[in-house]
Amino acid sequence: MPRIRSIEGLEILDSRGRPTVKATCVLQSGASASASVPSGASTGRAEAVELRDGDPSRYGGYGCLKAVYHINGEINRKLSGRTFASQAELDRALIDLDGTPDKSRLGANAILAVSIAHSRASALEGGAPLYRYFAEMSGQPITRFPRPTLNLFSGGMHGGRQVAIQDVLVVPASAGSFRQSLEITHAVYAAAVELMAERFDARWLTADEGGLAPPVNRAEELLELAIEAIERAGLTPGVHVCLAADLASSHFFKDGAYRLDGKSLNSHEMKEQLVDWARRYPIVSLEDGLAEEDWDHWPELCKRLSPTTLTLGDDLLCTHPRRIQNAIQSNACNALLLKVNQIGTLTEALEACQLARDAGWMVTVSVRSGETEDDWFSDLAVGWSGHQTKAGSITQSERLAKYNRLLEIEKEMPLPMIPWPH
């Protein structure tokens, strides 16, 4: 492994115009690489802590100068001049230096930016593409290309809360390649734009991840509109294109009830609603259908949705190995939404990924709603053999950076995608 010469941090802006952290790792050889980290809006309670300045006079308190200060100071001092035998050793040094269980002292944003910048610099020095470095780190060969799930419609915290549920996504199920997946998605997205102009007589508005945010009154209308858009594009729902949904329901669960479409549903009623949607629409993956604190009802939901619809845990699991263990033991879900910044180092995220895979789960590798132009996500999704990706809609440069990088990787290394529905 290479020797580190210096580590530097910089406060930059993300796709919401909020500060985030970029780190640059310079090696003794002169090789130098940078990485920037994303940030969520609908965050889980158990996520590692992003360090924000809390100074209301700068960026409404969202500044990241403290995190950058830690990179330029303590982290740089501790790591410069050292060689780490593996990415795991480097990450362990960062975790130990921070010393808190949630990375709140140095900041998970500072720690993850350094973890990824180091991986990129090491890959560069070794002359390998980053996805190869990630595959070697995981100890497993790359055997498939992930199938994308792409945002079409948004509500909730990503879309202005016109309805409670957060995202309805397109799954180009019949596509034989990543390139073809994007072609199909574009056709559906274009049809959805037309549909919105006709139906709502308005220019479409896009949400945080570039999905459309139609002014509907009921959550189910997003599913209905998605089916109409697929058909309008000349495709068959459930055959060429399936749907996925991220309800992010922790964010409309208040005092033990789900506040959906003006109704107040208990956990049982919410579960019945989800099962009904999964029966009437070709939903192959349902994320955070129940709230993160509603653990007791997840196993029944998972059982009822199987085998046609994946029960995907995001806020519930927070990419945290201990929470994933609990979910495996209680059969609470059968798929992991992997977001590296929820846990804060590559090594811990890999542990989470491997736990899920060993339990026979599917893994959807995901970006955050606040992203940058950095594309390490794409190399990670391929290198760790993710089953699916979730990187937002087919618009907006911070999303396209990921898709365009995936197109490059696919050209270098064409591999089959797993069929879906299974």
Provide the binding-site residues for ligand 2PG, judged by CB under 6 A: 40-43, 167, 209, 246, 248, 314, 337, 366, 368-369
Output the smallest distance, CB 246 to ligand 2PG, in A. Answer: 5
Are the CB atoms for 112 and 380 separated by under 8 Å? no
Report in angstroms how near the CB of residue 228 gets to ligand 2PG at its nearest: 23
> Is 209 an annotated catalytic residue?
yes
Identify which of residues 314 and 379 has a Cβ nearer to ligand 2PG in the complex.
Answer: 314
Closer residue to ligand 2PG, CB minimum distance, 44 or 172: 44
Q: How far is CA 322 from CA 116, 296, 343, 348, 355, in A?
A: 23, 17, 11, 11, 10
Give the CB-nearest residue to ligand 2PG: 40
| Residue 280: CB minimum distance to Mg ion, A | 22
Residue of 22, 103, 271, 339 with catalytic role: 339
- Positive or negative, the CA dihedral 263, 264, 266, 271 is positive
- 303 annotated active-site: no
H or E segment to which residue 234 belongs: none
Residues 242-271 close enough to bind Mg ion by CB under 5 A: 246
Distance CA 108, CA 114 (A): 10
Which of 79, 56, 76, 78 is closest to 67 using CA atoms?
Answer: 76
Pick the catalytic residue: 125, 209, 348, 371?
Answer: 209
Does 374 participate in binding Mg ion (rule CB under 5 A)? no
Binding partner of residue 271 among ligand 2PG, Mg ion, none, CB cut-off 5 to 8 Å per kind? none
- Provide, rounded to whole angstroms, the least separation between the CB of residue 165 and Mg ion: 11
For the chain, the 3-state helix, strand and coil shares in percent, each to the nearest 5, are 40, 20, 40
Phi then psi for residue 102, to 5 deg, are -115, 15
Please give the structure tokens belonging to residue 255. Answer: 């005092």
- Distance CA(245)–CA(86), nearest Å, equals 37
Cβ 294 to ligand 2PG, closest distance in Å? 16
In the list Mg ion, ligand 2PG, none, the entry touching 93 (Cβ below 5 to 8 angstroms by class) is none
Short-list 124, 291, 267, 365, CA closest to 116: 124
Residue closer to ligand 2PG by CB (options 236, 397) is: 397
The answer to whether 398 contacts Mg ion (rule: CB under 5 A) is no
One of 11, 14, 314, 379 touching Mg ion (CB under 5 A): 314
Furthest C-alpha separation in the chain: 62
Name the residues that contact Mg ion, by CB under 5 A: 246, 314
Active site residues per annotation = 209, 339
